[in-house]
Every structure is written in structure tokens, then in C-alpha cells.
Structure 1
Amino acid sequence: MEVPQVLHMNGGVGEASYATNSLVQERVISLTKAIREEAAISLFCNSYPRSLAIADLGCSSGPNTLLVVSEFIKVIEKLCGELNYESPEYKVFLNDLPGNDFNTIFRSVDRFKESLRSETKTKTGPCYISGVPGSFYGRIFPNQSLHFVHSSYSLQWLSKVPENVNNNKGNIYMARTSPSNVLTAYYNQFQRDFSLFLKCRAEELIEGGRMMLTVLGRESDIMYSKECCYIWELMAMALNDMVLEGIIKEEQVDTFNIPQYTPSPSEVKLEVLKEGSFAIDQLGVSEVNWNALENWNAFECESQMYESHSDGPYNVTQCMRAVSEPLLISHFGESIIEELFNRYQKILIDRMSKEKTKFVNVTILLTRKS
């Protein structure tokens, strides 16, 4: 499986699309809003640049894509109004892998700009938005061209499936039954990828530029901790049940591994310190429920509506389908998808009725050293 060619969220705005099923990700973005606002103000007041370049890496598509950009610009516009300072121009770069649904993003740009003008009290500076396809595990911008880099719920995805994990029988990710070499292979791939990511961004950010990253992670030092691996274990259960019934072959499951690593705060910190280009301003952990609606009050759910399906396991199933369906189709084919997610939902109904299920998020704010 060539990850850059097949990894992307479900496009469009249909029932199984990422746009319709990314309320969990929106909640994660909202939890880190105060940190971003503080970083934006500090960045702007450091040099009062006439032009601000902002990059969102792993932008996907849907209502969350321009959310961070909108918040960033509003903060700067408010600050300019308070200081009686002329608004800067904004250069916005939206990055994701080539399979991302950029067309949906581009169709929303005019509406985004109109909304921004109506919500800011000042005469907003010009805003230029570009799509930048490509893997962020490599250079994607010119030297020292960016002021602020943001990424949320993207860096847990690896550049490729780790090598030497062929003996991860019956599992599709790190699990309690995974051999030690599988866990080591996943960790080593994370180290290589994240170190390269930091090196590339260090070359692209100006000195003093800021970078804020939120990654799906874990608090525990145990790599196969339930808090990060359980949701994939339950999907593996559904796949293995299909093997027992002859719907798919055992070999297909044994050769399928999710290209993801969910790091702990200490693992993230270690790689930043080893790479050496960034100072750590903040590092923290937050939690959100698997069921998106449990994270919000009813009146806060206007952007992505679930009235017709308020059932928690259904929401989680659709969220995971929006995220993983392209990977699954590339390996198993499209014919098994409906059956797989029907079974997965039944497993979730059972497990979510018996226990509290949460995602753990690791957030880090960095400053590019001089």
C-alpha cells in the first residue's frame, strides 16, 4: 500500500463523508483555541509584518478546513483595530495529500471570505488562499516563507506502513497481542517521520515563526494502550469475524496494517529536543469522547448536524468510516465495506454501552529558534 496515493478522508458531503462526520475533530480544534489566539497575538506583535503566511497541514475538506484560518485572521483583525494599525495581507496555504477533496474546499472560498468580512469589524486585509497538495513528510514551501503553521489530527498518520510487521497476525494496528518487533517498528517509523517533519518545517518557517500541532495520541507510556489502540482493535474484531465466515481471507487481514502512530507527550517532546530547531512553549494533553455529540451541548452542534442519527455507536462508525474507508477499499476492495461497518457498529454498540470511550490528544506549541 502506497500511503500517499491512498490516504485521504472521504470527500464530498454525503452521509459517509468526512465533511459530515468530523465533529470530533472540530471539538479538538475548539479545545486549543486559546493557545492559538495567544500564539497569533505574540507572533504579530513581535514584528508587525505587513504580510502573514499561514499554512494548515492536513487540512482535509469540510467545515473544519478554514476554521483555524478564520479564527487566526479574526484575532489579528481585532488586534489591529485596538492598536489602530493597518491590517496585513493574509497568504493562506491549505495542504493535504493529492487525493484530498480540494474541489470542495475551492468551492467554499468565496463563501468563507464573505463570512469573514461580515464577522470582522475592521476592513479586513486581502486574503489569498491556495491549495498545496503533497506530503508534509518533505519540503512543500520555500525557505523561510511561513509565519504560522498549524496541523490538527493529521500527524498521527505515518508516511508509510512500518516495515517488518508481517507477523502482526490478526491485528491491523498495534495491539495487546502484537509482537514486540511490531511495536518497535511503529515507533521507529514515527521517529523518522516526525523528525523529518520538524526539519522541513524549520526550513520553511521564519525565525520566530510559530507552529502548533495537535496529534491523536495517548497519555500512557504503553504503546498498545487501550486509550489509543482500542478503536482499531474493535475494527479488527469485525474483520476477523468476516474471516471466520469466509467473506474475506485470513491473509488479507494479516497483511493489512494501519499507517498510524499515536505518540505520548514524552515521545513528542523527545523528537523536538533531538531535532533542535524549535523551542517548546506549551505541551499538553486533552480528551474528547468517541461519540461526537457527548462533546458538545445541543446548541453548539449547528455546523454539523446529526438529528436523524443521534445514536452514539452510529456516529462513531460513520466517523471511522470517513477516515478509514479509502485505506480499506485499497486493500480489501469496495464490496466488503457495507458488511464491515455494519458489523463494526454492532461491536461498538456492545462496547460503548459498557464503558466510557475517549480519544487522547497531544498538543504542542513551538517557536522556530534563531
Structure 2
Amino acid sequence: MNTQQWCVLDAYSMQYQNDFSLFLKLRGEEILSGGRMVLSFMGRRTSDPTTEESCYHWELLAHALMSMVSEGLIEEEKVDSFNAPYYAPCPEELKLEVEKVGSFIIDRLEAFEIDWDGGVDEDVNNTLGALSRGQRVAKTIRAVVESMVAHHFGNHILDELFRRYAQMVGDYLSKTQAKYINLVISVIIKD
């Protein structure tokens, strides 16, 4: 990774720390003595934020955007200036912020693997099952970033972008069993 990429990662990490600490502080003021809170996050297993498990789905979206650049459908400068505000913490980062704020005791912290496509069999006769694996992932990611993409690039690229993305994800999933890491933490307010 180059220096600029590390600066972006550091900025995202600091923003995560600030936002999550504020969230915990405010929840600590609201929750009654003995109260519990359970939170679920997209995360990663390791402290390295560049692992494939935590960011490769975004890399594929970048490839889809760059394929549109190569065909003159969007400007490269637009892609270069686009950042999705996504940060997937590792368990140690969650623990550190909870301990730093000091309002809660960690009761439990677990990591679960979830198939990128939700693990739905393609031969199932329902709406999700009728879609290819790549299409299911593309619909999920589109639900998360569509408004940001539309604001930055315009609505006119959405269908083509996510068609390409679905194809790329489908190709990737045909070669690997990609998993998201979901972190679930249960905390209890200190008395």
C-alpha cells in the first residue's frame, strides 16, 4: 500500500474510534443500571484492515467503476475522488473502545462467518434463490451505497455499474467461498 492509502485507512480508523466512542458514551447515559446492549457489526478477524475478508467486495466495485472509465462512461477523476465511508473493525478495536469509554463491561464478543451471498441455494424457488450469487451480492451492496454513488456519479450509471459488479462478484464467487465477518458484542452497563 502507498502512503496515501495508509493515510485514508488511518483517517477511517480514527473516525471509527471517534464515532463508536461517542455512540458508547451516549448509550451509557441512556441505559439503566444492569441494562444490556447487543450490537452487530461487519468486521474482520485480524488487525490488518487490508485483508481480503474485510474489503475485497469494495475492490470489486472499484474494478466495475474502472471498467466503465476504460469505456469512457465515467471520468477517472470521479472514481479517484469517490470514497465509501466503510470501516470494518477487528475484535481488538471493539474491546479497546469499550474499555476506553468505561461505561460498559463486555459480556461476550464473537465473530461469525457469513457467505457473501447469504448462503441461499441457487435452485431455491424464491426471489433470492432465482438470482445468481453475484446478483444477490450486488443487490445488497447497491442497497448500501446507491445513494452515495448516485450523488457522486449520477443516477444514469447505477444499473450498468451494478450489472458489471454482479458479473465480477459472480466470477469471483465461482472460484472461492468468500465470507463476511460479522462481529457480535454484548455489553452490560456498569453500576
With normalisation by structure 2, the TM-score equals 0.93
CA RMSD of aligned residues (A): 1.9
Give, as a single letter, the amino acid of the residue that structure 1 aligns with 2:134.
P
Task: Could you list the structure 1 runs, at least 4 aligned residues long, displaced by more than 2 angstroms after superposition.
Answer: 176-179, 304-309
Secondary structure at the counterpart of residue 284 of structure 1: strand
Deviations 1:26-81 (A, max 9, x none): xxxxxxxxxxxxxxxxxxxxxxxxxxxxxxxxxxxxxxxxxxxxxxxxxxxxxxxx
Tell me, in whole angstroms, the C-alpha distance in 1 between the residues paired with 2:129 and 2:11: 42
State yes or no: 1:180 paired with 2:6.
yes
Please name the residue that 2:54 is paired with.
228
Secondary structure at the counterpart of residue 32 of structure 2: strand
The structure with more radius of gyration: 1
Tell me, in whole angstroms, the C-alpha distance in 2 between the residues paired with 1:190 and 1:348: 27
Matched ranges for 1:195-274 at <5 A: 195-274=21-100
Give, as a single letter, the amino acid of the residue that structure 2 aligns with 1:198.
L
Report percent identity of matched pairs.
44
Deviations 1:257-312 (A, max 9, x none): 111110000000000000000011001100110112348xx6xx9xx742432x21
Please name the residue that 2:19 is paired with.
193
Please say if residues 120 and 129 of structure 2, whose CA atoms lie closer than 8 Å, have aligned partners that are also in contact: no
State yes or no: 1:306 paired with 2:132.
no
State yes or no: 1:368 paired with 2:189.
yes
Give, as a single letter, the amino acid of the residue that structure 1 aligns with 2:18.
R
State yes or no: 1:292 paired with 2:118.
yes
Tell me, in whole angstroms, the C-alpha distance in 1 between the residues paired with 2:97 and 2:128: 39
Matched ranges for 1:48-67 at <5 A: none
The change in CA–CA distance for 1:307 and 1:361 in structure 2 (over 3 A counts) is closer
Tell me, in whole angstroms, the C-alpha distance in 2 between the residues paired with 1:238 and 1:288: 23
Tell me, in whole angstroms, the C-alpha distance in 2 between the residues paired with 1:291 and 1:236: 19
Q: 1:321 deviation in Å?
A: 1.3
User: Larger % of helix: which?
Assistant: 2
The number of aligned residues is 189
Deviations 1:316-356 (A, max 9, x none): 11111122111111111100011101111121121111111
Give, as a single letter, the amino acid of the residue that structure 2 aligns with 1:223.
P
Tell me, in whole angstroms, the C-alpha distance in 2 between the residues paired with 1:367 and 1:350: 43
Q: 1:313 deviation in Å?
A: 1.1
Secondary structure at the counterpart of residue 175 of structure 2: coil
Relative contact order higher in (CA < 8 Å, ≥ 6 apart) = 2
Tell me, in whole angstroms, the C-alpha distance in 1 between the residues paired with 2:86 and 2:48: 15
Tell me, in whole angstroms, the C-alpha distance in 2 between the residues paired with 1:308 and 1:233: 26
Please name the residue that 1:333 is paired with.
154
